[in-house]
Amino acid sequence: MKRISSMMSRKSSKSTLNETPDSISVLLLGARGCGKTSFLYKAYFKYATDNPDTHFDVLPTPSHNVEIIPYQTQLYQLWDFAGNLK
Cα(77)–Cα(11) distance, integer angstroms = 17
Which domain covers residue 25, as residue numbers?
21-81
**Closest Cα partner for 81 from 24, 34, 37?**
37
Cα(23)–Cα(35) distance, integer angstroms = 24
15 vs 59, higher pLDDT: 59
Give the model confidence (pLDDT) of 9-40 as tens digits: 554 444 444 445 678 999 998 888 888 989 99
**Within a domain: 2:** no
**Within a domain: 35:** yes
Domain count, the chain: 1
Q: What is the pTM of this model?
A: 0.66
Local confidence band at 77 (pLDDT 50, 70, 90 cut-offs): very high
**Within a domain: 9:** no
Q: What is the pLDDT of residue 79?
A: 92
**Within a domain: 64:** yes
Assign residue 67 the CATH number of its domain: 3.40.50.300
Cα(53)–Cα(7) distance, integer angstroms = 23
